[in-house]
Structure 1
Amino acid sequence: MQLVCVLERQIFDFLGYQWAPILANFVHIIIVILGLFGTIQYRPRYITGYAVWLVLWVTWNVFVICFYLEAGDLSKVIYL
Structure 2
Amino acid sequence: MQLVCVLERQIFDFLGYQWAPILANFVHIIIVILGLFGTIQYRPRYITGYAVWLVLWVTWNVFVICFYLEAGDLSKVIYI
| TM-score interval (norm. to shorter) | over 0.9
TM-score w.r.t. the length of structure 2 is 0.97
Q: Distance in 2 between matches of 1:32 and 1:46?
A: 10
Q: How many Å apart are 1:79 and its aligned residue? A: 2.3
Q: Distance in 2 between matches of 1:29 and 1:3?
A: 6
Matched residues, percent identical? 99
Q: How many Å apart are 1:78 and its aligned residue? A: 2.0
Q: How many Å apart are 1:24 and its aligned residue? A: 0.2
> How many residues are treated as equivalent by the alignment?
80
Q: Distance in 2 between matches of 1:16 and 1:77?
A: 24
Cα deviation digits, residues 35-61 of structure 1 (max 9, x gap): 000000000000000000000000000
Q: 1:20-31 to 2 correspondence within 5 Å?
A: 20-31=20-31
Q: Distance in 2 between matches of 1:18 and 1:77?
A: 22
Q: Distance in 1 between matches of 2:77 and 2:13?
A: 24
Q: How many Å apart are 1:29 and its aligned residue? A: 0.1
Q: How many Å apart are 1:77 and its aligned residue? A: 1.3
Q: Any unmatched runs of 5+ in structure 1?
A: none
